[in-house]
Amino acid sequence: MSDSLDLGVERTLVLLKPDALARGLAGRIITRFEDAALKIVGVKMKHMDAEFTRKHYFDLEDRAGAEIYNCTAGFMQSAPVLALALEGVDAVAKVRKIIGSTFPDQAAPGTVRGDFAHQTKASSEVSGKAVMNLVHASGNSEEAKYEVELWFDASEQFEYETLAEKFAY
């Protein structure tokens, strides 16, 4: 990957949340990333326990408050999640564009959340439930580096060349 870094190639983390798995959307969501020339370099299914959830969302309580942290943590621990380490040119920004705005009712059609998630911010606040928005994605390069390393050991990340890389890079 070192030669690719000059081209803006980076890694990022995507979590398919419990609602994505419960609704059988994993394949359709993953296809969108692959269609955008993002390469899967790590994948695993995991139940997030309380300790791991706190490591993953280490700053959420400070940013959003204890109530939102507890609601999010409870949802993320309610069923397994599917973690993907994705690699590609400007992977963080590309993934964020593909998934759409955090709140499904604000996400554009054509994005994962705009097409498949339908909960509004207001309904989440009224119900006291976490926003069912199908996916988590790293917000910036620093967060991506932290999250990929938290979720995947070096031995769980793979190097290989895709046809897209062969022709595009």
Let me know if residue 169 belongs to a domain.
no
Query: Which helix H or strand E contains 9, and what residues bound it?
Result: strand 9-16
User: What pLDDT sits at residue 101?
Assistant: 95
pLDDT tens across the length of the chain (169 residues): 445 556 789 999 999 999 999 999 999 999 999 999 999 999 999 999 999 999 999 999 898 889 889 999 999 999 999 999 999 999 999 999 999 999 999 999 999 999 999 888 888 888 888 889 999 999 999 999 999 999 999 999 999 999 988 887 6
Place of tokens 């060349």: 161
Domain of residue 118, CATH code: 3.30.70.141
Number of domains in the chain: 1
List 13's β-bridge partners, or say none: 85
Are 103 and 121 in contact by the 8 Å Cβ rule? The answer is: yes
Query: Which helix H or strand E contains 66, and what residues bound it?
Result: helix 66-76
Question: Hey, CA dihedral for 130, 131, 133, 137, is it positive or negative?
Answer: negative
The closest of 148, 136, 167 to 16, measured between CA atoms, is: 136
Let me know if residue 121 belongs to a domain.
yes
Q: Report the catalytic residues.
A: 136
User: What pLDDT sits at residue 157?
Assistant: 98
Range of the domain at 158: 4-164
Taking the model in full, what pTM does it have?
0.92
Question: Distance (Å, rounded) from C-alpha 169 to C-alpha 153?
Answer: 26
